[in-house]
Amino acid sequence: MAAIEILGLEKTYMVGFWRKRPKRALLPLHLTVEEGEIFGFLGPNGAGKTTTLKMLMGLVFPTAGTARILGRDWTDPEVKAQIGFLPEQPYFYDYLTAHELLNYYGQLSGVPAKDRKRRVEEVLESVGLTDIKGVQLRKFSKGMLQRAGIAQAILHNPKLVFFDEPMSGLDPLGRREVRDLMVRLKQEGKTVFFSTHILSDAEALCDRVAIIYKGALRGVGAVEDLTATVQGKVEVIWHGTQIPASLKALGAECHVTGDTVSAVIPESQQDAAIDALRRERIRLIALTPLRTSLEAYFVEKLQNSPDGTGKTLGTAV
């Protein structure tokens, strides 16, 4: 069973004061997230990630389309008992302490009173919030608030967790802890759907990712599969120090290291390179496809999008 099935969700806002004009925040989106996977929803700021999440949470109503969450209609209130949500830059009732806040959210999520206190302590410890008893949230730092946000999202032991920019505001140690937490959630059989514009996080964590830009889905799949589509380069390593002339003619950049030579060539010319080495009776040691980073794929998708100029990528990625 799919954890999330998004079936053509789209959102158009009417903007302007006197003369209202439509602004499409999200074009029809079709997306399936399988149970038990960590799914990254990637895109630059303003791409439509948060709009999608808000629609799935029932905070914003779609212009068209529908979705199914954990096999049930997304509008079914009971579905929400099985999902957790961390909004972007969360802000909580700052007159409460973290314990009071989590106790309140536990009540709203239907966590039984007998388990609540223990569960609150557990999740606070799991996000690294200790020694904060009696401290109101208004005295929390941004990073501590983010941790409290993650704690409230997993408090009721949900099957599916939505994180909107979970690493935001966290120091390197905090980011690592959140990454570990996500892996732990996956190991517990939970599905994690998180949006981010920090690609290294997605690359390190996700089973699959989707890339969204200007409200449209630009690509979806496993990180390895996606990056494979834009590789197009292979590394050839052979024995000796000789560089065949025909290989040079292919435009290969060759590096001699000890008694081996390595060259990076376009994938389309790998057969020609092997033939050249055979003709010269040179022993081939390795032929390895070069893995391109998710960032390279991301940049390529955005630059090649119908209306993408890539101009904003410097700040977005």
Residues that bind other proteins (CB under 8 A): 13, 54, 57-61, 77-78, 80-81, 83, 85, 87, 89-93, 95-96, 104-105, 107-110, 149, 152, 156, 162
Q: Residue 38 forms beta bridges with which residues?
A: 192
Return the SS3 of 24. strand
User: Is 54 or 214 the residue whose CB approaches other proteins more closely?
Assistant: 54
Residue ranges in 142-256 assigned as alpha helix (H): 142-154, 172-187, 199-205, 223-228, 245-249
Closest separation between CB of residue 93 and other proteins, Å? 6
- Which tokens belong to 235? 């590394």
Indicate the burial class of 300 (C-beta count within 10 angstroms; 0-12, 13-18, 19 or more).
middle
User: Is 46 or 240 the residue whose CB approaches other proteins more closely?
Assistant: 46
Cα(20)–Cα(14) distance, rounded to whole angstroms?
6
User: Is 85 or 297 the residue whose CB approaches other proteins more closely?
Assistant: 85
Closest separation between CB of residue 314 and other proteins, Å? 27
Torsion of CA 172, 176, 178, 180, to 10 degrees: 180
* H, E, C per residue of 44-97: CCCCCHHHHHHHHCCCCCCCEEEEEECCEECCCHHHHHHEEEECCCCCCCCCCE
Closest separation between CB of residue 107 and other proteins, Å? 4
User: Is 62 or 244 the residue whose CB approaches other proteins more closely?
Assistant: 62
Strand order in the sheet with 72-73: 21-34, 2-15, 64-69, 72-73
Closest separation between CB of residue 148 and other proteins, Å? 10
User: Is 95 or 290 the residue whose CB approaches other proteins more closely?
Assistant: 95
Closest separation between CB of residue 172 and other proteins, Å? 26
Closest separation between CB of residue 40 and other proteins, Å? 20
Closest separation between CB of residue 86 and other proteins, Å? 8
User: Is 95 or 173 the residue whose CB approaches other proteins more closely?
Assistant: 95
User: Is 17 or 271 the residue whose CB approaches other proteins more closely?
Assistant: 17
Cα(116)–Cα(141) distance, rounded to whole angstroms?
25
Cβ atoms 194, 163 nearer than 8 A: yes
User: Is 77 or 172 the residue whose CB approaches other proteins more closely?
Assistant: 77
Name residues whose C-beta falls within 8 Å of residue 50's C-beta, 6 or more positions apart in sequence. Answer: 88, 164, 195
Closest separation between CB of residue 11 and other proteins, Å? 9
Q: Per-residue DSSP letters for 219-240?
A: EEEEHHHHHHTTT-EEEEEEES
